[in-house]
Amino acid sequence: MQLKFASIIVDEQEKALKFYTDILGFNKMADMPMGEYRWLTVVSPEGIEGMELVLEPALFKPAAVFQKELFDAGVPAAALISKDIQKDFADLQKKGVVFRGEPKNLGPIIAVTFEDTCGNLINLVEPLIIPK
């Protein structure tokens, strides 16, 4: 089996698309009408080939509640891997990304959390120990 899609709940699909493409540098992969919403996915140019992030509209009330509870509790909805967290941190700050603190060394990783403007917190992580 292959992992193909991971979903992130977003409050507005167009706003999410702009953030993930214009700010994070992802590429739009799929954009198909599905009633009043879209099947909308992005891919990371540095990511695993074929893996897509679905920008899932917050239509299902329990999903929207779950998203808000995670955000309010400070729990990230996803993690992005960085090869140079200090550089990515500085670059994203210049683009106006709101971070919740500075990158911190947590032993096997350096990590910092940012807001994606769509109702989610995202962990930016630089692994210091590469698993075998």
Q: CATH number for the domain including 72?
A: 3.10.180.10
In a domain, 29, yes or no: yes
Distance CA 107, CA 86 (A): 16
Q: What is the pTM of this model?
A: 0.92
Total structural domains in the chain? 1
Q: Residues 1-50: pLDDT tens digits?
A: 989 999 999 999 999 999 999 999 999 999 999 888 899 999 999 988 88
Closest C-alpha among 93, 86, 90, 64 to residue 77: 64
Q: Can you give the residue range of the structural domain that contains 36?
A: 5-127
In a domain, 132, yes or no: no
Is residue 129's pLDDT more than 90?
A: no
